[in-house]
Chain A
Amino acid sequence: DSGVTQTPKHLITATGQRVTLRCSPRSGDLSVYWYQQSLDQGLQFLIQYYNGEERAKGNILERFSAQQFPDLHSELNLSSLELGDSALYFCASSSASGRTDTQYFGPGTRLTVL
């Protein structure tokens, strides 16, 4: 158990819909990272927040947005969903913001768009 929790574990929805994925970092960790893992693209970095502020941005679509709240939990919002958005979405956390800091991954949310 990494100490990072993600909900829900599974999500099935239809094209065009909007969903929210939730992540609680390890106690004391200030950084939260979001990743998307699909069979054809592998594990892709989406976005990082550090202590409530956006720190780094990766291959995140404009239809996707994220935020980190004062209690440090984070939400990833996916809108106007397409079939190709079906993937595993992972959240990771670390104590600091450096790129060599150990990231602890949650169990993931499996999103299926029908």
Chain B
Amino acid sequence: TQLLEQSPQFLSIQEGENLTVYCNSSSVFSSLQWYRQEPGEGPVLLVTVVTGGEVKKLKRLTFQFGDARKDSSLHITAAQPGDTGLYLCAGSPSNDYKLSFGAGTTVTVRA
């Protein structure tokens, strides 16, 4: 089983619609990171959230870290085809040094 569970696994929406991707765990994390990976490339870091309840905005992307630091969400407003990609959450539990990744959510935005 994955330490970080992402849902949904796949998401296909029309340009202009909103979407939310979830990342959940039973473990507490000191921080969580969100990456986007495009085909044929490595993951690119989008944001790191470190404080429980923290909300960070990156243009049309809003990231939230749960109060208990066990979950996070990524919300995209008015999605565009350029938002298409694999979105990965990652983090190191408080009692572990290694960075663990969720299985990812494949987002497809249709023009």
Q: Which residues of A contact B (CB under 8 A)?
A: 2, 4, 33, 35, 42-45, 48, 56, 58, 90, 92, 99-100, 102-108
A1 closest partner in B (C-beta): B41
Instruction: Determine the chain B residues whose CB is within 8 A of the CB of A44 once the complex forms.
Output: 101
A81–chain B nearest beta-carbon distance, Å: 22
Q: Is the interface of A mostly helix, strand, loop or mixed?
A: strand
Interface residues on B, range: 20 to 34
A43 closest partner in B (C-beta): B101
Count chain B CB atoms within 10 A of each CB in A2, A33, A35, A42 and give the residue with the most: A42
- Residue contact B99 to A107, C-beta cutoff 8 Å: no
Interface residues of B in 96-110 (CB under 8 A from A): 97-104
- Residue contact B42 to A2, C-beta cutoff 8 Å: yes
